[in-house]
Structure 1
């Protein structure tokens, strides 16, 4: 049985979002966990933001750095969060990923502002 704490110490999840034609798109992403929610931080002008706006249903599983799935898939619903909740998630990501989060933020800054999604898993 899948438990959210199984994710806590891991670095990458494979996030599956869906195009308008329901075709799945899998993207390896960093994540953090807070209050039994999975948070994914990305940039405004990315495909996953567009797809989640169109369809908030997602699936995720643990994965390698290259996006090879590890373990079982779990479904959930993604919701854009703002304000204090978003800032807490961003700070947790900085703490978890350290200097790499700073580098990633610098490299991706041309893709718009940060966007934070919370994912409530169907456990």
Structure 2
């Protein structure tokens, strides 16, 4: 997949990540996104259904969306993997930088509620 698409998705405010249930039903979720070299990084609650679905099945669809998860462009196939704690910590820093005060407050609130192990990064390669 070309760098321009990766740049565009990474620069967007929200990324729609569509993961699949065991029976194949797609479930789309809007998430914050950062560019991570040749991949995209997102951050989510560690015990969310999204994480469980990705652990069971790594293929996802991704594309730009608005805050409510309404697609604003084409969805493309990608592969998602749950990250280790070091990568998750890097994604937190990147998110804080990209999303400014709102990002830092959201990350702080999450850390206070769940601790640092309560959230994970997800690396998405197109």
How many residues are treated as equivalent by the alignment? 121
Say whether residues 1:114 and 2:116 are aligned partners: no
CA distance in 2, matches of 1:103, 1:84: 21
Select the structure that is richer in helix: 2
What TM-score, normalized by structure 2, do the two folds share? 0.85
Aligned residue for 1:17?
Answer: 19
RMSD across aligned C-alpha pairs, in angstroms?
Answer: 2.1
Cα distance, 1:83 vs. partner?
4.0
The 5-angstrom pairing of residues 71-90 of structure 1 reads: 71-90=73-92
Aligned residue for 1:50?
Answer: 52
**Does 21-30 or 8-17 show the bigger shift?**
8-17
The 5-angstrom pairing of residues 27-42 of structure 1 reads: 27-42=29-44
What TM-score, normalized by structure 1, do the two folds share? 0.87
CA distance in 1, matches of 2:105, 2:90: 19
Q: Which runs of 5+ in 2 are unaligned?
A: none
**Does 99-108 or 78-87 show the bigger shift?**
99-108
Which of 8, 12, 16 is the equivalent residue of 1:6?
8
Cα distance, 1:104 vs. partner?
2.6
Deviations 1:73-114 (A, max 9, x none): 111111122143332221001111122223333158359611
Cα distance, 1:34 vs. partner?
1.5
Select the structure that is richer in strand: 1
Cα distance, 1:10 vs. partner?
1.2
